[in-house]
Amino acid sequence: MTEPAAIGDGEVLIVVDVQNDFCPSGALAVPRGDEVVPAVNHLAKKFRHVVLTQDWHPRGHLSFASTHPGKRPYETIAAPYGPQVLWPDHCVQETPGAALHGALHIPHAALVVRKGIDRTIDSYSAFYENDRMTPTGLVGYLRERGVARVYLAGLAFDFCVRYSAEDACREGFGVFIVEDACRGIDVDSSIAATRKSLAALGIPCVPMP
Ligand SMILES: [Zn+2]
């Protein structure tokens, strides 16, 4: 397990999907999801490098239950790239639900990675789409900026934060999840599955640095 280092030029904070649709009254609300906003704002002040991610789907996206006649949200289908959970329509490009939360205040964030843009494939991770092969380009960006350690916060702990953390680990970055600045959605015990998987990979959940 990598130990947290002092935060400097080698560290990045990735703020995952802090968007209206993932907050209470949104289309795919994460319980108490809006509570991450002040935590993330506070956390981001400690980092020179901050990247935001934004779920950003075209209408009729493969991950929407409404795209598949007879299917309901939270069922799983066999997509060409593997199992895919179906969700309510959410984060449709250029809708208010897809916008970053209005109280998110991180003016020094240098990059926003939009993901899930291809209608035929979902993307939980900030690094790879759900085929686990198609890159978003974020690995290259972080390497060029000299980043060695990745801190993650945001929504949802057990999906987009989890898969982003696991991909960062596979790419050789030191990875830390700031759990106080995350909230989970918990579909079919996905929070417990996430804890088990993170532990197996040696990815620690750390307190606010
Ligand atoms: Zn999505």
Question: Is the pLDDT at 133 greater than 80, yes or no?
Answer: yes
Question: Is the pLDDT at 2 greater than 60, yes or no?
Answer: no
C-alpha 18 to ligand 1 mean position (Å): 12
C-alpha 64 to ligand 1 mean position (Å): 8
Q: What is the mean pLDDT of the chain?
A: 95
The CA distance from 153 to 119, in Å, is 26
Question: Is the pLDDT at 208 greater than 90, yes or no?
Answer: no
C-alpha 7 to ligand 1 mean position (Å): 30
Question: Is the pLDDT at 153 greater than 90, yes or no?
Answer: yes
Closest CA to 156 of 125, 119, 114, 110: 125
pLDDT at 16: 98
C-alpha 170 to ligand 1 mean position (Å): 22
pLDDT at 33: 97
Q: pLDDT tens for residues 4-47?
A: 668 999 999 999 999 999 999 999 999 999 999 999 999 999 99
Give me the active site residues, please: 17, 115, 160
Residue 209's pLDDT band (cuts 50, 70, 90): confident
Contact present, 141 and 4 (Cβ < 8 Å): no
pLDDT at 3: 57
What's the DSSP call for residue 159? I
